[in-house]
Amino acid sequence: MDAAKQKVHEFWDEASCGEHLYLSGSEKASYIEQRRIRYELEPYIMEFAGFKTARDLDVLEIGVGLGADHQCFAEAGARLQGIDLTQRAINYTKKRLELFDLRSNLQIGDAEDLAFGDREFDVVYSWGVLHHSPNTQKAIEEVHRVLRSGGVAKIMIYHKWSVVGFMLWARYALLRLRPLILSRFQDETKRGRVSAWHDHAGLIHSS
Ligand SMILES: C[S@@+](CC[C@H](N)C(=O)[O-])C[C@H]1O[C@@H](n2cnc3c(N)ncnc32)[C@H](O)[C@@H]1O
């Protein structure tokens, strides 16, 4: 793993996304509550992901985090695989699926170097992940490679000029007294290599 990727790994290995804020324990009730809060805060995920349409489809989720969306795909009856850069996220998602008696093939993996063959999936889903990876463009190419003809990529990345973008800038630039820095991802969006709109840039692409 190169140094930039290692930093990403270290960051998410300290705490998975929303772990401290929304997951209060390791029992079933805590996972139920975390999922309830997630979709209360971000109700648009449901429509974007279209979980219920995934029945009998080959679905890959990249960057499973705490696994709430992964649970929804599993409940819908998708033939499911999930990856994350960190063992921590994989453990959370495995635990969640075990508690709900659901199935998925979960493993550590890198969005920029997917351990799958060409055209294996009908759907590749990734919420809030690919902009964190040092080479976002490579990750997008990998998504395209593993999708079947007619397959669908459902990918959310953050928009530079958004509430989320502002919060991240305040936290990681302003509070560290480096208000003028632009993240690598922001540079990418400036060069137009990643298209984006609204608060979240939700990209649905048919291969
Ligand atoms: C903001 S969290 C989002 C997690 C989950 N999708 C959600 O919405 O809660 C980003 C996740 O992406 C994972 N991640 C970052 N870079 C990755 C990469 N190159 N390959 C796979 N996963 C990655 C992190 O480990 C982390 O779990």
Using the mean position of ligand 1's atoms as its centre, give its distance from the Cα of residue 64 in Å. Answer: 6
Using the mean position of ligand 1's atoms as its centre, give its distance from the Cα of residue 84 in Å. Answer: 6
Asked whether residue 92 is domain-assigned, the answer is: yes
Using the mean position of ligand 1's atoms as its centre, give its distance from the Cα of residue 158 in Å. Answer: 13
Asked whether residue 186 is domain-assigned, the answer is: no
Looking at per-residue pLDDT, the higher value among 149 and 206 belongs to 149
Residue 80 Cβ < 6 Å to ligand 1: no
Asked whether residue 106 is domain-assigned, the answer is: yes
Condensed to tens digits (0 to 9), the pLDDT of residues 22-69 reads 999 999 999 999 999 999 999 999 999 999 999 999 999 999 999 999
Asked whether residue 75 is domain-assigned, the answer is: yes
Asked whether residue 180 is domain-assigned, the answer is: no
pLDDT at 201: 53
> Which one, of 140, 144, 134, lies nearest residue 156 by Cα?
140
Task: Determine what percent of the chain is predicted with pLDDT higher than 70.
Answer: 86
Using the mean position of ligand 1's atoms as its centre, give its distance from the Cα of residue 63 in Å. Answer: 4
Give the range among 108-112, 120-124, 174-178, 197-201 with minimum mean pLDDT.
197-201
Separation CA 80–CA 96 (nearest Å):
14
Separation CA 139–CA 149 (nearest Å):
18
Residue 67 Cβ < 6 Å to ligand 1: no
Nearest CA to ligand 1 atom 8: 127
pLDDT at 196: 34
Report the range out of 56-60, 189-193, 194-198 with the highest average pLDDT: 56-60
- Kindly report the CATH number assigned to the domain that includes residue 139: 3.40.50.150
Separation CA 137–CA 140 (nearest Å):
5
The structural domain count of the chain equals 1
Find out whether 205 and 152 touch, Cβ atoms under 8 Å: yes
In the chain, which ranges are continuous DSSP H helix?
3-14, 19-22, 28-41, 44-49, 68-76, 87-99, 136-146, 163-169, 184-190
Residue 122 Cβ < 6 Å to ligand 1: no
Domain that holds residue 147: 3-157+194-206
Residues 6+ apart with CB under 8 A from 125: 49, 59, 60, 61, 62, 69, 73, 154, 155
C-alpha to C-alpha distances, 83 to 18, 60, 123, 186, 194, nearest whole angstrom: 18, 8, 14, 25, 22
Asked whether residue 142 is domain-assigned, the answer is: yes
Residue 85 Cβ < 6 Å to ligand 1: yes
Find out whether 134 and 2 touch, Cβ atoms under 8 Å: yes
Does residue 203 sit in helix, strand or coil?
A: strand
Asked whether residue 112 is domain-assigned, the answer is: yes
Question: What's the pTM?
Answer: 0.87
Asked whether residue 164 is domain-assigned, the answer is: no
What is the band of 206 on the pLDDT scale with cuts at 50, 70, 90? low
